Amino acid sequence: MTSKTHVIGVDLGGTKTAAGVVAHSGEVLMSETIPTLNRAGGEAILDATAALITGLVERAADAGMSVSCVGIGSAGVIDAVAGTVVSATDAIRGWAGTSLVAGLSARLSLAAPSVQTVRAVNDVHAHALGEAWLGAAAGSSSSLMVAFGTGVGGSFVLHGSPVLGHRFVGGHVGHFASPLAAVDGVPLPCVCGGSGHVEAIASGPALYEAFLRFGGSAVEAVDTRGVFALASAAEGLDAGAGAGPANSRTAALRAINVGAAAAGQAVGGLINILDPETVVVSGGLADAGELWWKPMEFALRQELLAPLVSVPVVRATLGNTAAIVGAAKLVLK
């Protein structure tokens, strides 16, 4: 492809679907976002996504730009060869088994015939690819990205390509054992159906559940964001009226410290296995500030083998555009 090529990158998640027209340089020139029809089934999602892409193709044409390819980063386990959704959580009902690439290609052949190529990978792989190309890991020969938010996911990008795995399950870094994911010796249940996994203790929802277990009040904090507000008060960063009772503030700090320690321990173990040039930590918890980042990085570095002690561990930098840029990169080779 020439340097004048424009493509569309799509970030199809459980709550929203974002897409953008991306230049060969990686610059997102225009973008749009729609709610994901996560209770309407796979065909309805394909219809809405095709309409989103078609609208951007038309906007690009009005601006004198042609679009011939679409890259998609989608929630679920994505068979990047067949272009199908191998499996998915209940966050998107009826998504598993969807013929993602073939279904979109058929729709676009009618509505946007200029689009000749559609490719897809898992959305976290797309996110990591964006960060490896133009973000926090730009210029690295290998990078490990781990995202901590509603769930825990990751990707290992080697020489510009995410390692997908033989069955396309590579990157499910939230689903191996964590010694901290237990209460009184009983492993905590994980959303995958297993127990004792990293995601069961280190995700945002898990952090909130830990806050309640430690005696925090659901009245004082209704979600994970509220837990961080209480913890900030306990640290004296946001002291004042409405800060919540001492036991809830203490529970908030304890929950954050445990979740962050589990996150750091997990990433440190992965670093020992993969030896990446750069490590990128992303997601809502990584963006929550030093209350989470400091204990996470401390636990991470406690795990490292001696030759790895200086590995760079950095925050993701591309924000909401990372998966769009990474998905675009799939078809900009």
CATH number of 100's domain: 3.30.420.40
Q: Are residues 117 and 198 in the same domain?
A: no
The pLDDT assigned to 239 comes to 41
Q: What is the mean pLDDT of residues 182-208?
A: 97
How far, rounded to the nearest angstrom, does the alpha carbon of residue 4 sit from its chain's CA centroid?
29
162: in domain? yes
Residue 199 has which token pair?
Answer: 């995601």
Q: Are residues 187 and 215 in the same domain?
A: yes
Q: Are residues 265 and 281 in the same domain?
A: yes
110: in domain? yes
Q: What are phi and psi of 283, to 5 degrees?
A: 100, 170
The pLDDT assigned to 236 comes to 61
Q: Are residues 31 and 177 in the same domain?
A: no
How far, rounded to the nearest angstrom, does the alpha carbon of residue 93 sit from its chain's CA centroid?
19
125: in domain? yes
Residue type, 268: G
Range of the domain at 89: 6-130+320-330
The pLDDT assigned to 233 comes to 84
For residues 213 and 303, what is the distance between their CA atoms, to the nearest angstrom? 27
64-77 pLDDT, tens digit each: 999 999 999 999 99
Q: Are residues 185 and 83 in the same domain?
A: no
pLDDT at 235 over 90: no
In whole angstroms, how far apart are CA 272 and each of 192, 202, 267, 309? 25, 19, 9, 10
The pLDDT assigned to 3 comes to 39
Q: Are residues 120 and 158 in the same domain?
A: no
10-55 pLDDT, tens digit each: 999 999 999 999 999 999 999 999 999 999 999 999 999 999 999 9
pLDDT top residue among 159 and 238: 159
pLDDT at 142 over 60: yes
Pick from 49, 28, 235: nearest CA to 135: 28
The pLDDT assigned to 242 comes to 47
**Lowest pLDDT segment from 147-161, 191-205, 217-231, 240-254:** 240-254
278-322 pLDDT, tens digit each: 999 999 999 999 999 999 999 999 999 999 999 999 999 999 999
Please give the span between the terminal C-alpha atoms of the chain, in angstroms, as a whole number.
7
**Mean pLDDT value across the chain:** 94
Q: Are residues 85 and 207 in the same domain?
A: no
Q: What are phi and psi of 30, to 5 degrees?
A: -155, 150
Percent of the chain with pLDDT over 90: 93
Q: Looking at beta carbons, which pairs linking 308-311 to residues 24 or more positions away fall under 8 Å?
A: 308/271, 308/272, 308/275, 311/271, 311/276, 311/277, 311/278, 311/279
Q: Are residues 10 and 114 in the same domain?
A: yes
Q: Are residues 73 and 199 in the same domain?
A: no
Task: Please calculate the CA angle 39-92-101 and round it to the nearest 5 degrees.
Answer: 110
1: in domain? no
Q: Are residues 146 and 247 in the same domain?
A: yes
166: in domain? yes
Residue type, 4: K
Q: Are residues 37 and 86 in the same domain?
A: yes
The pLDDT assigned to 42 comes to 97
For residues 17 and 249, what is the distance between their CA atoms, to the nearest angstrom? 36
pLDDT at 5 over 70: yes
Residue type, 213: R
The pLDDT assigned to 287 comes to 95
The pLDDT assigned to 244 comes to 57
90-119 pLDDT, tens digit each: 889 999 999 999 999 999 999 999 999 999
Q: What are phi and psi of 22, to 5 degrees?
A: -120, 130
Residue type, 64: G
| Total domains present in the chain | 2
b/e for 127-145, b at 16 or more Cβ within 10 A? Answer: bbbbbbbbbbbeebebbbb
Q: Specify the 3-state DSSP secondary structure of 313.
A: strand
At 234, the pLDDT band (50, 70, 90 cuts) reads confident
Tell me the HSE value of 125 on the side-chain side, using a 13 A CA sphere: 29
276: in domain? yes
Dihedral angle over CA of 9, 115, 6, 315, nearest 10: 10
Q: Are residues 157 and 48 in the same domain?
A: no
298: in domain? yes
The pLDDT assigned to 246 comes to 77
For residues 332 and 139, what is the distance between their CA atoms, to the nearest angstrom? 17
Q: Dihedral of CA 307/309/312/315: which sign?
A: positive
